[in-house]
Structure 1
Amino acid sequence: MEITEEESKNGENRLINLEEIMMNTQANMKKISVEMKQLINTSKKIEHILQIVTSIADQTNLLA
């Protein structure tokens, strides 16, 4: 079976497209990773605030 020049070019184009898709996927995964780290940090800050609010509420209940 002989591969024609057109089929060869077609295969090359598909590989180029696949490479672009993989590079875009990699870039998106890096963005997601950064956003996940930011979300974790924000969650920790919220948790700290909730602990403070709970502590104040507990102290207020002791005074009541």
Structure 2
Amino acid sequence: MKNIAITIGILCAFVLYIASSSPDDLVIDQEGNIVGAFNHVREAAQGKSFWEDQLKFAESEL
């Protein structure tokens, strides 16, 4: 039972990290595809916020 509680705690911490973290750079290729599995999960968790951050990174590269 203790192992299950520890595992659930670790998973919750991971989900919170994904939901609140942001990539440090543009993670979208020229066709608009997300690069990297971790970034796909981040996009699913953050939704609109993820795309707003990516737009800011893209605009700063222009």
Same fold? TM cut 0.5? no
When normalised by structure 1's length, the TM-score is 0.39
When normalised by structure 2's length, the TM-score is 0.40
Higher relative contact order (CA 8 A, sep 6+): 2
Higher helix share: 1
